[in-house]
Amino acid sequence: SSELTQDPAVSVALGQTVRITCQGDSLRTYYASWYQQKPGQAPLLVIYGKNNRPSGIPDRFSGSSSGNTASLTITGAHAGDEADYYCNSRDSTGNHLVFGGGTKLTVL
Amino acid sequence: EVQMLESGGGLGQPGGSLRLSCVASGFTVGNYAMSWVRQAPGKGLEWVSSIGAGGGSTYYADSVKGRFTISRDNSKNTLYLQMNSLSAEDTAVYYCAKDQTSFMTTPSEFDYWGQGTLVTVSS
């Protein structure tokens, strides 16, 4: 299967930890990347590879993977973390990319 | 500073054509895999097409294969997306995106995105 499945919505209390998951057969072979998108803005890469953060992304963001599930964890959520989060990986061919449906994170 | 600016969006007729451009600065487009990603209004991200670095292998989502063509002009440091046989399902904001790692022949993760250009297909 070339699909990636995410929960449509997740909420977290301010300062608490939240995990956003992404499931798909291709994740047994390929790492997921994670993007944050705020309204009216282009996506922003927050995690890639095994657990790598681009320059400028705070270490509150981390990634992990097990079997067919990739996870993005935000430790100590800030109000500014409220956004849509998308996972992305290669499909089974290895040449095409696929995005998950996105998870809307609400910080309470 | 890396910047990418898309243009060419607008109103397209069903069955018609549009050509999107993405002018890049701060890096050489030929040295990176480059991609187009779209987002329909109120919907999620959808990968559309990629072109590899160097020789330029091309890849397309099934939804656009045979209708869209990705290309680049290294002399103009510009990425293109020729869109033919447009349908209402192609209505979306189209982003160009740069791969993080240079000289990759297949797309991976995107470290820079343009601000997008809106394509609306309607009669």
> pLDDT digit string (tens) for A29-38?
999 999 999 9
**Beta strands A103-107 and A9-12, pairing class:** parallel
Which residues in B lie closer than 8 A to residue A100 (C-beta atoms)? 44
Q: How confident is the model at residue A2 (pLDDT cuts 50, 70, 90)?
A: low
Is the predicted pLDDT of residue A1 greater than 60, yes or no? no
Q: Which pLDDT band, with edges at 50, 70 and 90, does A93 fall under?
A: confident
Q: Using the beta-carbon criterion (under 8 Å), do A94 and B106 form an inter-chain contact?
A: yes
Cβ–Cβ gap A102/B44 under 8 Å: yes
Is the pLDDT at B93 greater than 90? The verdict is yes
Q: Which of B35, B45, B117 to mutate to test the interface with A (most CBs of A within 10 A)?
A: B45
Nearest to A86 among B45, B59, B115 (CB): B45
- Mean pLDDT for A8-24 is 97
pLDDT confidence bin for A95, thresholds 50/70/90:
confident
- Check CB contact of B50 with chain A, cutoff 8 Å: yes
- What is the arithmetic mean of pLDDT over B39-63? 93
Given an 8 Å threshold on Cβ–Cβ distance, is A42 in contact with B47? no
Which of A45, A84, A101 lies nearest to residue B109, judging by beta carbons? A45
Cα end-to-end distance, chain A, whole Å = 35
Q: Would the pLDDT of B58 be above 60?
A: yes
Percent with pLDDT over 90 in chain B: 91
Judge: B116–A42 Cβ closer than 8 Å, yes or no: yes
Does the pLDDT at position B102 exceed 90?
no
Asked if A95's CB is within 8 angstroms of B106's CB, the reply is yes
**Please, which pLDDT band fits residue A23 given cuts at 50, 70 and 90?**
very high
Asked if residue A18 has pLDDT above 90, the reply is yes
Q: What percent of chain A has pLDDT over 90?
A: 93
Q: Which residues of A touch B106 (CB under 8 A)?
A: 90, 94-95
What's the mean pLDDT when you consider all of chain A? 95
**b/e map A50-83, b = 16+ CB within 10 Å:** eeebeeebeeebbbebeebbbbbbbeebeeebbb
The closest CB to that of B115, out of A42, A84, A101, belongs to A42
Of A48, A54, A96, the CB nearest to B59: A96
- For residue range A37-66, list pLDDT tens digits in order: 999 999 999 999 999 999 999 999 999 999
Residue B22's nearest CA partner among B11, B10, B8 is B8
Q: What is the mean pLDDT of chain B?
A: 95
Angstrom CA distances, A62 to A65, B5, B60, B111, B114, stand at 11, 30, 30, 17, 25
